[in-house]
Each structure stands twice: as C-alpha cells, then as structure tokens.
Structure 1
C-alpha cells in the first residue's frame, strides 16, 4: 500500500516509517523539516501541497501523525495550532476522499480527555478510569482543543464518505523531560507512567500499523501500556498506590530503592487500551513488568529518555 505519512521527521514518524516499509508498504513522508523518511518538505496547512502530495504520489492511505504539540504552546500562537492541527487535518481528509482512499489513521492524544477536574486529582470514585467512553471531553488548552476538532472532522468525513478512519488517542511516548514536572527525575517519572499512562514509541508505531491494516468503520482508540490494575483498585490507587503496587509486584519497592527511584504515592488516572487490544489485535510489548525486569537484571530501560530531544521546527510556510 502506498502510504502518506505526515510528521515523518518527528519522534513517532522516524520509528513508524521503517516499520511500514518492513511490512511492504511504500512510504511517502511529509514534514516541515527534512528527515530520513521525509520525501516532501512542507506543511499540511498548505492545502495545495496536501492535495498534490496525495495525487502525485499515488497515495492509497494516509497516516496523519504530524501536529503541533503541547510543548509548542510556548513557541507558537494559537492560530498556528488551528492552521496545522485543524486546517491541515481537513486538507488531508478531503484530499483522501477526492482520491477515493479506503482508510485514514489520525494520531490524536489522551491529553484532550484531561479536563480541569481530572488534572486537579482523583474523582469521587478514586482514580479516573479513562477509556473511549470517558466524558465529557473538555480540553484545557489549545492543543487539546485543536486535536478534538481534528477528531470531529475525521468522524464527519468518515460518516459522509464511508472512508474507514481510526482515531488513535495515544498516551505519553515522548522522549524529553516532562515540561511541568521536575520531580521525580525523567527516567523515574517515565517508569512510573507505565503503570497507567505511557507506552513506548515502538508500541505506538505498532498500533498505527495495526490500525492501518485492520480498521473498519470509524473508531476511536485509547493507546497505553496495559495497566496492571482493575477498576476495583481505583479508590485505593488514589490514596495508597504503593500498597496496590506491592500486591502486584512484591519486589518493586526494593528494586526502586536500589535505583534511587520512588514509586508514586497516588495514581489519579488510568488509560485503558482494552478496545485496541480487542479490535486491532494490538497490545503494547513494554509494560511496567518490563521496567522491573530491567531493574532486576541491571539491563537497559525499555524506553527512551532524551532530555535534549526537540520536535521539528515549523517553517515560515506554516
């Protein structure tokens, strides 16, 4: 299949492009900066370029992973988010419909589900259990607002055209440090997040491949490493997460102590990827147990931590 991959120079794109090629797909990459998998340098906000990319390269399906992200809020005005994340998504959807494409994969974010009350802490029933039915959805920043608008455009165009669309709300997989939390340290924080809100970039890429090859209709999926908890743990997770962790992983506290790390005292939200496992046959390879195995054996962490990573920079045409 000839696939247009946007964001091909980005963190996800540079992992997804070779995976697609290994599966026999022919990849045309589009990004605002050059990269190993980037064929076309430009912005999805350029409508003529988006249509040209689809038409001139014989594209048969689109994976739209290019976007402005939350860290970009400090660097770019809101209008840039609308141009790239909303207008750019509409450009690609309409180009795909005009070309008669059977499928479209849209990279969204679990961030848009984090309302102000979710951000503030646990709910009445304990930790928020967040799957595709979670709502109401009320994004708290321009990133979330524009990604939700992109999702809505995907659903609208799918309904009107019959094109199969997968909306993938990915948990965290960025390599850089968190832009709002300095404690615990970056690797420790990432390890903790595998308990309920993180996956590796390799697993995110595999989910996109599964969606491309298996999606039917229009479906939304939450992507994260499988949480080692049950919904019945929600109340205790919000008050004494370490006790729940100790029951699941008796040596976790000792392994963390040896590494100089700390386990979370409270876990206030859990992302549930069960639907993706059921409909796409996808399950993250790396989970919290893999983190503990690496600590136990003194091996390399199964995730990437790169505090110096910077996302591709927009060109003036964006």
Structure 2
C-alpha cells in the first residue's frame, strides 16, 4: 500500500515511517523540512502540491501527522495555524476522497481537551479525561485548530463515507517541557507515565493499529496514552496526596525514586484514560509506569527518549 505520511521529518515521522516500511508498505514522506524519511518538501496547505503528490505517487492511504504544535504559538501567527492545521487537513481529506480512499488516520492531541480551568487544576479532584470528556474548550489556537480538523474528519466520514480514525495523542516529545520546570526533565517524563505520556514508539504503533482498523471503524476517536494504573474512584486522593496513591499501587516506587534522587508527584490534576483504545482499537502501549520502575530497579536506561537539545527540524 502506498501511504502518504505527513510530518515525516518530525519526531513521530522518523519512527513511524520505518515501521510502515518494515511491514511492506510504500511510504511517501511529506514535510516542510528535509529529513531521512521525507521524499517531498512542502506544506499540506499547498493544495496544488498535494494534488501532484497524490497523482505522481498514486497514494492509497493517508497518515496525517504533520502540524504546527503548541510550542509553535510563540513562533507563528494564528493564521498560520489555520492554514496548516485546518486548511491542510481539508486539502488532504478532499484529495483522499477524490482518490477513492477508504482509510485516513489523523494525529490529534489531548491538549485540545484541556480548558484553562482544567489546566489551572483548581478543583478538589483530578479531572478524568477520556473520549467522552466535554464540553471541549481548547485554551489556545493549537487546540482550536486541531479540534476543528477532527471535525472535518468526522464530517467527511458522515457525508462521504471516508473511514477516518482520530488519535488524540498524549505527550511523547523528547525535549524539555516549555512550561513545567519544577523537576528535572527525565524525572518529570517518568512521572507522566502515570497519567499523561507515552513513548514515541508506542505512538507510532498506535498509528499502525488505526490504519489497520480504519475500514471496520468508519469514524472513531481514541485517547492514546500509556495505561494509567489509577481508577476514577481515586481522583480526590490523587489531587491531595498522589504519592500515597502511587505507593499503594507500586510499593517499591518511593524507594526506587529515592535511590535515583527523584521525586514522585505530590498532586495529580488530570488523568488520561486510554482504556477504550485497548478495548475497541485493540492496542495497548507497551511502556507504562511499571516499565519505568523496572528500569530503575535494574539500572537499565529509561524506556523513553529524553533529549533537552532536541529542536524540531522545521526550526533548524
């Protein structure tokens, strides 16, 4: 199958493209920046370019992972987010429809589920976030445009029958957090496997699962994150004494963290629940918080990427 992969030079693309090829797919990478997995340099906002790519490469399916992201808000105006994240998605959907496609996978984000109220974490309990969470009120242009693009995928299925799977991915970036700096970056990432992170490898594997299941699903949407060990009944305790809740699930965690000089979270304000992804899509992330603890126990490298020097290829 000839698959158009947008965002092929990005962090996800460099892992996803080899996985696709390893199982026999022909990958055509499209990105605004050059890269080892990129065949065509250009923007999804350029409709004539998209039409040429579909015609020249006889594209049969699309994985749309290219976008402007939250850190780009300080670098690009709002109009550019609309051009890339909304118009670019529309261009790809229309081209896929014209080509008679029966599968379209869209990389979205859990960020669009976070209103300013949720981000402020002022409530008495952690907020439980799954596919039914709402009403959605994205707090920035990134979230607004990604939510709009999700709506386009849903619309094209409803009006035209194009099978579309939307993956709301949690955090998998390798660089330092651009807003949280209370803990060292590797410690922070390890903690987030409790409630809001996955590895880039698992993120890529989720896209393969979505591609395989798209025909049978028609349209569907999934939260993609490492499985949380927590239960909805623990949300109040997670907010007031997260370390105690973690210790109940993982009695070895406090000691292993102390040996590393790390700190467990004292309060958790939100939890992403990916149970439906496992139940309906048939995919479960391989790396979870238990894997973090096994690495600490054995002295192995952390099973996730941490690179404070990472810079997006488009910004180099």
| Interval of TM-score (by shorter of Structure 1 and Structure 2) | over 0.9
Deviations along 1:105-161, one digit per CA (max 9) or x if unpaired, are 00000000000110011545x111100000010000010011011101111111111
- Residue 85 of structure 1 aligns with which residue? 85
- Mapped partners of 1:45, 1:269: distance in 2: 34
- The SS at the match of 1:309 is coil
Matched, 1:232 2:242: no
Runs in 1 of length 4+ with deviation above 4 angstroms?
none
CA distance in 2, matches of 1:309, 1:279: 34
Distance 2:81 2:43 in 1: 12
Alpha-carbon deviations, 1:273-293, whole Å to 9, x = none? 111111221100000000001
* CA distance in structure 2 between the partners assigned to 1:2 and 1:41 by the alignment: 18
1:302 aligns with 2:307: no
Q: Deviations over 1:52-82 (max 9, x none)?
A: 1112211110000000000111111111111
1:142-157 to structure 2, matched below 5 A, reads 142-157=141-156
Question: How far apart, in 2, do the equivalents of 1:282 and 1:54 lie?
Answer: 29
Aligned residue in 2 for 1:204: 203
Unaligned runs of 5+ in 2: none
- The 3-state SS of whatever aligns with 2:76 is coil
After superposition, the CA RMSD in angstroms is 1.1
Kept after mapping to 2: 8 A contact 1:54/1:95: yes
1:311 & 1:82 partners in 2: Cα distance?
Answer: 20
TM-score (norm 2): 0.98
In 1: Cα distance, 2:267 partner to 2:172 partner: 21
Which position in structure 2 is the counterpart of 1:16?
A: 16
TM-score of the two chains, using structure 1 as the length reference: 0.97
Q: Is the 8 A contact 1:32 1:314 kept in 2?
A: no
Structure 2 residue aligned with 1:258: 259
Q: What is the total number of aligned residue pairs between the two structures?
A: 314
Residue 46 of structure 2: aligned partner: 46
Partner residue, 2:67: 67
Residue 314 of structure 1, CA deviation: 6.7
CA deviations over 1:218-264 (Å, ceiling 9, x no partner):
00100000001111111101111111101111110111111111000
Which runs of 5 or more structure 1 residues have no equivalent in the other structure? none
SS at match of 2:313: coil
SS of the equivalent of 2:202 reads helix
**1:281 alignment counterpart:** 282
The residue number in structure 2 matching 1:76 is 76
**Secondary structure, aligned partner of 2:212:** helix
Kindly indicate whether the alpha-carbon contact (under 8 Å) linking 1:122 and 1:238 is maintained by their aligned counterparts in 2. Answer: no
